Amino acid sequence: AARAGRRRRLLRRRAGRGLGDPRRPPRPARRRPAPV
């Protein structure tokens, strides 16, 4: 669970930063469950 939480935080941070990056669009982390 700790790993999933860490991955979720990284994804959220990347999505927020990628908002202004047309090369790396924010991916829907809700559709793709983080691998355990």
DSSP character string of the chain: -HHHHHHHHHHHHHHHHHTT-SSSPPP-TTTSPPP-
- Give the pLDDT confidence of 1-36 residue by residue, as tens digits: 556 566 555 555 555 555 555 666 666 656 666 666
**pLDDT given for residue 12 in this prediction:** 55
- pTM score, two decimals? 0.15
**pLDDT given for residue 29 in this prediction:** 59
Residue 31 token pair: 């559709």
